[in-house]
Amino acid sequence: MGYLDLTRRDVLRIGGYASVAAFLAACSRGTSGGSASTSSGPGTVSVGSNQSDTSATGGPRKGMADVTAAYQQATGDTLKVNTVDHGTFQDQISSYLQGTPEDTFTWFSGHRMRFFAAQGLATPIDDVWSKVKGNFTSAFAEAVKADDGHVYGVPVDYYPWAVFYRKSVFQQHNYQIPTNWDDFKALCAQMKKDGLTPIAMADKDGWPAQGTFDILNLRLNGYEFHVNLLNGKQKWTDSKVTNVFKKWAEITQYYNEGVAGMTWQQGADLLIQKKAGMMLLGLFVSQQFQASDVSDLDFFPFPDLGTQYDAEKALDAPIDVMMMS
């Protein structure tokens, strides 16, 4: 897949720059989207950033630095970026927004954006969106719209989840891409016999396991049930949810040791070092690979589970956005 060498840094620099620049420029001069005003004064914008990750290819932190430099050079405005560890930023976002947040902040679209919009902790940016919406599809437009019909975020990047692997490892062992659950488990069993950790899993920050739950629930119970569960309209005690964990238990034996204490980067290293055969994660896993190795990275869709919902082919594809406090 030729586009795997596009890291989130590249997306920030190329795909999202025009829209983000327009958003920041509006913030530096005040926007008519809502009643809140920026705290940094004309010509200056402060940004609360969760783009803390670094990697061999630069990573999101370097991407934000590139955007900052390019924006300041193009506009003459000053951009003050306060970068906080990604996990800490997520854990403390509620108290952060209720305190004295920066003028703008990085976050996620969809329900997580709508939650803070409904609490009045974010400012509508409809006027900015009208200038940049031509860069995005209708699906992106819907993802940044809150329940009140106003737009609250500008997309920066997105990263679909899939099962990633090294082509050379599959070629060496003559592994075939599995398309259903039984074939997937059979592949895991064979990898274990071959001395590999079949599936790299690293859940120190919690969200990698959440992503695994998402795809299993989507394939077993469907998109509508999954969304309603996350929105509190379905119960976590429902037998459908229990069945998700039972299905999950069929592959946990193929994880590496120390799952709870490892970051996703450490998990990706198992894939890079050819100690693990596969890893379920987002496209950003590519940023851990050296440029010389990234062409060896490939992926396949999560296998079908034999339910009516396989046809939906639903998957996680989070969208990072810039929002205004």
Q: What is the DSSP string of 223-280?
A: HHHHHHHHTTSS-TTSHHHHHHHHHHTTTGGGBPS-GGG--HHHHHHHHHTTSEEEEE
- Rounded mean pLDDT, 162-177: 98
- Whether 249 is in a domain gets the answer yes
Task: Check residue 69 and give its pLDDT.
Answer: 86
Residues 143 and 32 in one domain: yes
* Per-residue pLDDT, 37: 39
Is 194 within a domain?
yes
* Domain stop point among 156, 179, 200: 156
Domain assignment present for 325 = no
* Both structure tokens of 101: 């947040």
Other C-beta atoms lying within 10 Å of the C-beta of residue 241: 18
Strands in 90-194 per DSSP E:
104-108, 153-158, 161-166
Identify whether 63 is part of a domain. Answer: yes
Note whether 66 and 89 are same-domain residues: yes
What is the pLDDT at residue 273?
A: 97
In a domain? residue 324: no
Whether residue 297 lies inside any domain: the answer is yes
User: 126 with 103, same domain?
Assistant: yes
Distance CA 216, CA 202 (A): 17
- Which residues partner with 36 through β-bridges? none
Given a cut of 50, whether residue 114 has pLDDT beyond it is: yes
Instruction: Clarify whether residues 16 and 127 are in a common domain.
Output: yes
pTM for the structure as a whole = 0.81
In a domain, 212, yes or no: yes
Rounded to whole angstroms, the Cα distance separating 288 from 271 reads 10
For residues 307 and 215, membership in a common domain is answered with: yes
Q: Which of 61, 48, 78, 69 is nearest to 7 (CA)?
A: 61
| Residue type for position 131 | K
Residue 185 belongs to domain with CATH number: 3.40.190.10
- Give me the mean pLDDT over the 39-51 stretch: 75
- 188 and 304 part of one domain: yes
pLDDT greater at residue 26 or residue 61? 61
Beta strands in 84-212 (DSSP E): 104-108, 153-158, 161-166, 197-199
Judge whether 323 lies within some domain.
no
Do 167 and 132 fall within a single domain?
Answer: no
Q: Which of 32-36, 118-122, 181-185, 309-313 has the lowest mean pLDDT?
A: 32-36
* Single residue among 119, 134, 156 that ends a domain in this structure: 156
Are 70 and 167 in a shared domain? no
Residues 55 and 171 in one domain: no
Q: Which residues pair with residue 157 across a beta bridge?
A: 320
The residue from 104, 133, 156 where one domain ends is 156
Work out how many domains the chain is built from and give that number: 2
Res. 238 pLDDT band, cuts 50 70 90: very high
User: 12: pLDDT confidence band, cut at 50, 70 and 90?
Assistant: very low
Tens of pLDDT, residue by residue over 133-161, are 998 899 899 999 999 999 999 998 888 99
- Return the pLDDT at 197: 98
Same domain, 44 and 141: yes
Residue 89 domain boundaries: 2-156
